[in-house]
Structure 1
Amino acid sequence: MRFNKIAALLMASVMTAGAASAMTASAKEYYVKVMKCDINGNGRIDTDDRQKVLDHINGKAAGFRRGNVLNDNYITTDDTDAVLKHIQGKKALSKDAFIRADVNKDNKVDIVDYRKILEYISNK
């Protein structure tokens, strides 16, 4: 748990200051490679992402990432496949997956959400 808070604090520092690739805790060194800091998945690294990291450090409940339909911490074509199956009526999404799949927050999962998730994947 302590390491998670230290790692989250490091991510906040990287987003704010721009560059830091290592930290030292007691006698051990931990190296954290930061690839993407777009915590909220809006396509930008901004103060909203920083706030989410700080909320995590302070123990506030974490939100979820829209588009991460399968809730595996990644947005991939597996997520778009699940959305497409839902749209086609082949396999309904669970309540939680439905909320994560409703990217544009219009209370329905449709081709618009599918395209937005696909667009996000294409722009990685």
Structure 2
Amino acid sequence: MTDDAIANEIGQRIEAIRLKRNIGQDIVAHEAGISRETYRKLTAGKGTLVNVIAVLRVLGELDRLASLIEDVRTSPVQLAKMQGKQRIRATVTRATPPVPEHGIRTPIGKPTLIGGPKPDKDDSW
């Protein structure tokens, strides 16, 4: 079915519920807080979701949307797949990385880039 056909079918079902309950269009529209013309458009498949919810609430059929309101549950198979990838705690590296022989590293572990190794200070005065 196309989107328009589905919307039209929903509108027809709302109208059928209203007729089954023997309630006038103007009463349903007034109770839902919409105009009668808006109600007619809704039953023709041209309404908004907010208006559909309001009309279903007036007709006492809001539970028809319950499956859309419920939380989407993850399947047990999907949960099992996710368990292997779920982190339990962060890893901590305990060993310091080795200093390469070709250069001196700064206190944060980066090699010096200009001038090579720095000479030792002369503190013999």
TM norm structure 2: 0.23
Select the structure of larger CA radius of gyration.
2
Length-normalised TM-score, structure 1? 0.23
Greater share of strand residues, 1 or 2?
Answer: 1
